[in-house]
Structure 1
């Protein structure tokens, strides 16, 4: 799971995006935005953020 101030993205163990919520417009997380037009940039940004977090965490654990 990765989130920012507006969106929350849920992925499975293989990195597939299962859910994407707009927490501002949909605080109850009732509408899954995965596959909806216009969400590609948000998914890409959150994936990059998740990958950076993962890599930083792995590097710290190897020390």
Structure 2
């Protein structure tokens, strides 16, 4: 279960990074005049949740003594 949390956190981190840097450009006559990042806020939220899940997964991992 806790390894699953870490894996889910890593997946969310990767998706969040992709969403943060995804851009849409608008052009007139082939000249780009505006570049927007429509999913940047969603990407940042996914990154934060991913980091938290990785931390929880690592801190609560079973330790062998």
Q: TM-score scaled to structure 2, two decimals?
A: 0.45
TM-score by length of 1: 0.46
| Structure of greater relative contact order (alpha carbons < 8 Å, 6+ residues apart) | 2
